[in-house]
């Protein structure tokens, strides 16, 4: 694994698309959630045909005016899903359409079956031989260690007996090293343990779900979500072509966010340096978000996770001058665009979720009403609502209320963090 010099991209404020597109070649977005909605709008506004795989309870993207067709997608095992995708391409003549995953399961599915799917589709993630260094936290941890990138204390116990003898800096979290299969441990981000008894009590159940060889124990970095900061980029052979840095100001739940509710683009050179060092080392090509958290004990930005796909707040970047889904489309169609770094001070809000978070913070004295009202000022991008595409925004409130109700009545026992 080679290390090369870090090159920080130049800063411009926007990318103006000028290329005309073949209207017979489009994109297949693999979920109808709000991440998929951002992809749909980015491509659909430019006349690129977009189809959406509609699965589970995710519906907001399915109502977008920019969706040409919604395809019902049943829950299935990997082998069946690949057969369905290949059949869909052949029956509907989707040859060379861009296959666009929006979650970890879809990323793993495409990457592990890269050659087979590439016979019909244009693939937006690398093959597993390269991608595993970002998706498998064991390999990611090893790579970051070799590059000198700070990380939280982490161990990989293979048995409960081994875990008994490890000196843990409680509190810790227990989570899978890979997150490609759908199971109850993959819904919460992690299980929190405040002492050894609670950690051991959770271990056997977690091992039964994901396998003991796929479990990691990691220290909890002090502080809440506001310490989390991300570097996002599109890269070609390890070189960032478009990038942005953003800080998570609010999240839900507060301590271990399942998703961000309020994010702001910022400037943080140390995060850029570590992220680019990692991507350059792996010669990564594609779209990626790298998550860090600043440790208040020493000020270090410690690497937490990597998402080689669109993430929750990716639509913030469009308002900041970096429209990631469309730039990825251009990259994969060998179209040139200027090197761009998103501007600071742009805000993004998942409004229905953030109102609930803000009310809790205000009632507990951690957020003033004035600070919350100031966060509403422009420039601000909504996760769901758009004036040119209002239907998803009108659908979001009842859907969010339904989802929230299900979470409240199905909380995980034994410290599961959702």
Distance between CA 81 and CA 295 in Å, rounded? 41
Query: How many domains is the chain partitioned into structurally?
Result: 3
Distance between CA 50 and CA 93 in Å, rounded? 14
CATH number of the domain at 91, please: 3.40.50.20
Residues 202 and 92 reside in one and the same domain = no
Distance between CA 140 and CA 278 in Å, rounded? 9
> What is the C-alpha end-to-end distance of the chain, expressed in Å?
36
Query: Would you state the structure tokens that stand for residue 414, as one six-digit string?
Result: 């034994």
Q: Enumerate long-range contacts of 351-355, CB under 8 Å, 24 or more apart.
A: 351/382, 351/383, 351/384, 351/385, 352/384, 352/396, 352/397, 352/400, 352/401, 353/252, 353/259, 353/261, 353/400, 354/250, 354/252, 354/261, 354/262
Residues 238 and 363 reside in one and the same domain = yes
In a domain? residue 19: no
Which among 174, 196, 220 is the end of a domain?
220
Residues 127 and 215 reside in one and the same domain = no
Residues 204 and 324 reside in one and the same domain = no
- Nearest of 97, 79, 102 to residue 24 by alpha carbon: 97
Residues 186 and 279 reside in one and the same domain = no
19-40 pLDDT per residue, tens = 556 668 999 999 999 999 999 9
Question: Residue 179: pLDDT band by 50, 70, 90 thresholds?
Answer: confident
Which of 193-207, 299-313, 398-412 ranks highest by mean pLDDT? 299-313
In a domain? residue 11: no
Residues 238 and 351 reside in one and the same domain = yes
CATH number of the domain at 370, please: 3.30.470.20
Percent with pLDDT over 90 in the chain? 72
Distance between CA 216 and CA 68 in Å, rounded? 42
Any residues with CB less than 8 A from the CB of 79 and at least 6 apart, and which?
A: none
Residues 55 and 202 reside in one and the same domain = no
Residues 201 and 336 reside in one and the same domain = no
Q: Which is more confident, 9 or 418?
A: 418
- Nearest of 105, 106, 110 to residue 126 by alpha carbon: 110
In a domain? residue 143: no
pLDDT for the residue numbered 254: 74
Distance between CA 402 and CA 384 in Å, rounded? 16
Q: Which range marks the domain in which residue 342 is found?
A: 225-408
Minimum mean pLDDT range among 44-58, 129-143, 251-265 = 251-265
Residue 200 burial (CB count, 10 A) = 14
pLDDT for the residue numbered 400: 64
The Cα angle at residue 202 between residues 198 and 205, in degrees rounded to 5:
160
Cβ distance 143 to 1 under 8 Å?
yes
Residues 118 and 207 reside in one and the same domain = no
In a domain? residue 414: no
Question: Residue 404: pLDDT band by 50, 70, 90 thresholds?
Answer: low
Evaluate the CA torsion angle 360, 364, 368, 371 in order and state its sign.
negative
Cβ distance 128 to 267 under 8 Å?
no
Residues 293 and 215 reside in one and the same domain = no
Residue 149 to residues 204, 232, 280, 321, 418, Cα–Cα distance (Å): 31, 17, 13, 28, 28
Which among 166, 197, 220 is the end of a domain?
220
Residues 248 and 303 reside in one and the same domain = yes
């Amino acid at each position: 694994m080679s290390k090369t010099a870090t090159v920080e991209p130049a800063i411009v404020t926007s990318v103006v698309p000028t290329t005309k597109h073949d209207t017979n070649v489009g994109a297949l977005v693999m979920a109808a959630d709000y991440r998929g909605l951002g992809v749909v709008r980015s491509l659909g506004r430019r006349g690129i045909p977009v189809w959406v795989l509609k699965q589970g309870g995710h519906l907001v993207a399915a109502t977008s005016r920019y969706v040409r067709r919604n395809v019902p997608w049943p829950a299935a095992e990997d082998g069946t899903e690949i057969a369905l995708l290949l059949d869909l391409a052949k029956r509907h003549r989707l040859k060379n359409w861009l296959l666009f995953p929006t979650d970890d399961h879809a990323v793993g599915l495409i990457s592990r079956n890269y050659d087979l799917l590439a016979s019909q589709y244009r693939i937006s993630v690398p093959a597993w031989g390269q991608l595993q260094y970002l998706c498998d936290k064991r390999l990611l941890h090893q790579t970051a260690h070799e590059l000198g990138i700070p990380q939280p204390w982490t161990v990989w116990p293979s048995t409960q007996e081994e875990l008994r003898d490890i000196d843990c800096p409680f509190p810790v979290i227990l989570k899978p090293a890979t997150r490609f299969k759908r199971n109850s441990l993959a819904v919460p981000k992690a299980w929190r343990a405040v002492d050894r008894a609670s950690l051991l009590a959770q271990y056997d159940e977690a091992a039964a779900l994901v396998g003991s060889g796929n479990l990691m124990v990691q220290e909890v970095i002090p502080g809440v979500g506001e310490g989390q900061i991300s570097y996002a980029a599109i890269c070609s052979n390890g070189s960032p072509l478009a990038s942005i840095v953003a800080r998570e100001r609010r999240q839900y739940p507060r301590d271990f966010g399942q998703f961000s509710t309020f994010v702001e683009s910022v400037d943080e050179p140390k995060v850029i340096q570590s992220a680019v060092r990692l991507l350059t080392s792996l010669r990564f090509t594609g779209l990626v978000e790298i998550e860090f958290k600043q440790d208040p004990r020493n000020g270090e930005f410690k690497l937490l996770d990597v998402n080689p796909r669109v993430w929750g707040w990716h639509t913030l970047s469009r308002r900041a001058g970096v429209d990631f889904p469309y730039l990825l489309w251009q990259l994969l169609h060998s179209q040139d665009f200027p090197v761009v770094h998103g501007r600071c001070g742009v805000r993004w809000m998942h409004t229905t979720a953030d109102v609930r978070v803000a009310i809790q913070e205000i009632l507990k004295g951690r957020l003033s009403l004035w600070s919350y009202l100031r966060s509403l000022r422009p420039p601000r991008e909504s996760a769901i609502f758009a004036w040119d595409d209002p239907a998803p925004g009108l659908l979001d409130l009842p859907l969010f209320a339904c989802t929230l109700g299900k979470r409240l009545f199905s909380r995980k026992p034994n410290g599961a963090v959702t």
